[in-house]
Amino acid sequence: MAGARKRTTSAGRAAPKNRQVPWLLIGAVVVVLALIGGIGFFLFDRSSQISPWRPSDSNRDPSLAIPGIVTQAYEGSHHVTPQQRVAYDRFPAFGGPHDGYWAACNGQVYPQPVRNENMVHSLEHGAVWIAYDPTRVTGAALDTLSAKVQGQNQMMMSPYPGLDQPISLQSWGHQLKVSDPTDPRIDQFITSLKGNPYGVYPEVGASCDALGPGAFDPANPPPFDPPPYPRDALPMDYKGTSGAGGMGGTG
């Protein structure tokens, strides 16, 4: 019968059946590809955010690649009394004998110059000290520097009259002098050296909190005493005593 015949093509072959599009399979593939792409972008984005100036097992002191960095090896834990002075070999000092009590370095922005011997002790604890010439760094420039310090542990800042450059950064055994508060090397220095866990400073893990009145009072710090040094100033190879202010322990 004509109704029972199969539909044929003009060539006499049976016409193919209509194929269904596998939308579920296509959707699943699209979802998988999107997930893979998202994960790849996330990993790439994370890797791009890892600073080359952050210390690592393979690069323990990235600051050595900063143009203009100055380094000097110093022994730690050689203490002087609050009445003694040290004839430092650098200005500002960034290592050597120092007061038994450290300056508070937990985000302190000192409005006045502070005694070198206390500030150097804080460097021994892993702090970065930003010193600046108060005659050349004022207003917005001063605010830019202060924002890098306030609320940041192992950071401190103070004016330093007579600097040969407007800004000088110190970490134990490291120094960088710049003229512009927006110089990218400032952040490179801080990232490389603040609290560096790989032993670039003598007392890894030591506190930056002040011990209080009678030791070091952040509200009334020992005053800055600039060079020239008196004849009885102690030499850089002075061995001094160990322990914080004669109290013993880490200092």
What are 77-136's pLDDT values in tens digits? 999 999 999 999 999 999 999 999 999 999 999 999 999 999 999 999 999 999 999 999
- pTM, two decimals, is 0.78
Token pair listed for 66:
């900063």
Is 31 within the bounds of a domain?
no
Backbone Cα Rg of the chain = 31
Total domains, the chain: 1
Token pair listed for 163:
């600097």
The string of pLDDT tens digits covering residues 236-248 is: 999 987 554 444 3
Is 101 within the bounds of a domain?
yes
Query: What is the reported pLDDT for 31?
Result: 66
Whole domain around residue 147: which residue ranges?
62-246
Whole-angstrom distance, CA of residue 26 vs CA of residue 21: 9
Query: What is the reported pLDDT for 24?
Result: 74
Specify the 3-state DSSP secondary structure of 156.
Answer: strand
The string of pLDDT tens digits covering residues 145-156 is: 999 999 999 999
Is 25 within the bounds of a domain?
no
Q: Is the pLDDT of residue 13 over 90?
A: no
Q: Is the pLDDT of residue 14 over 90?
A: no
Specify the 3-state DSSP secondary structure of 166.
Answer: coil
The string of pLDDT tens digits covering residues 174-230 is: 999 999 999 999 999 999 999 999 999 999 999 999 887 778 999 999 999 888 899
Place of tokens 């508060």: 181
Is 22 within the bounds of a domain?
no
Query: What is the reported pLDDT for 240?
Result: 80
Is 24 within the bounds of a domain?
no
The string of pLDDT tens digits covering residues 43-64 is: 444 444 578 999 999 999 999 9
Is 5 within the bounds of a domain?
no
Is 27 within the bounds of a domain?
no
